[in-house]
Amino acid sequence: MTTHAPTTAYVLTAIGDDRPGLVAALAAAVDEHGGSWVDSQLALLAGKFAGIVQVELPDERAQDFLDALPSLADEVGLEVEAAAAGSPVGATAHSTLRLHLLGQDRTGMVREISSALRSQGATIDALRSWTREAPEGGGMLFEAEAEVRLPAEADENGVREALETIAAELMVDLELDPS
């Protein structure tokens, strides 16, 4: 029977000027310390590489890994911070909604939508947003997609109503679908 050494999970945030080899350098550091790359979301935004990575490391090698992270800034220009992973929030039953929003870009849109969700006790598990040119010179459009987790006691219709009210005020198209 094989026994496994105890491990600790960390969430890494990484940012650097975009260039080849950033992910490879981070993956090598994880691997060199006996760690596992568990989950990640990586993106290129405005010329910057940005990422969030969940890793698991053997307890006896975790501190050496954490001590090695600052050297990535000197070696490849990647600033990496680590935080011990927390316990999952909302382990009770819940439902999720997939949100899609499209409308004329204006300041405050993310604030308005996120405030409406917060007022209903909902949590944003994932959010991706971007702007693009509107057809026929109609200015800039703002588009967002989100996965929203509702607490077990939440009234889905109340969440929909709160979001539809904000969508009407912002004059945007809003789609909500169970996921």
Pick the CATH number of 95-178 from 3.20.20.70, 3.10.330.10, 3.40.50.2000, 3.30.70.260: 3.30.70.260
Q: What is the pLDDT of residues 25-61, one digit of tens each?
A: 999 999 999 999 999 999 999 999 999 999 999 999 9
Q: What is the pLDDT of residues 103-119, one digit of tens each?
A: 999 999 999 999 999 99
Q: Is 137 exposed, middle or buried (0-12, 13-18, 19+ CB in 10 A)?
A: exposed
**Which pLDDT belongs to residue 94?**
76
**Which pLDDT belongs to residue 129?**
95
The span from the CA of 61 to the CA of 157, in Å, is 49
Query: What are the boundaries of each domain within the chain?
Result: 7-84, 95-178
The span from the CA of 177 to the CA of 163, in Å, is 13
φ/ψ of residue 9, rounded to 5: -95, 140
Q: What is the pLDDT of residues 56-104, one digit of tens each?
A: 999 999 999 999 999 999 999 999 999 999 876 555 557 899 999 999 9
Pairwise pLDDT comparison (19 vs 5), residue with the higher score: 19
| The CATH number of the domain covering residues in 7-84 | 3.30.70.260
This prediction has a pTM of: 0.80
Partners of residue 124 on adjacent β-strands: 148
- β pairing state of 172-178 and 123-133: unpaired
The span from the CA of 176 to the CA of 167, in Å, is 11
Q: What is the pLDDT of residues 129-171, one digit of tens each?
A: 999 999 988 899 999 999 999 988 888 888 889 999 989 988 9
**Which pLDDT belongs to residue 147?**
95
**Which pLDDT belongs to residue 89?**
58
The span from the CA of 46 to the CA of 36, in Å, is 29
Helices (H), 10-98: 22-32, 59-68, 71-76
* Same fold across 7-84 and 95-178: yes
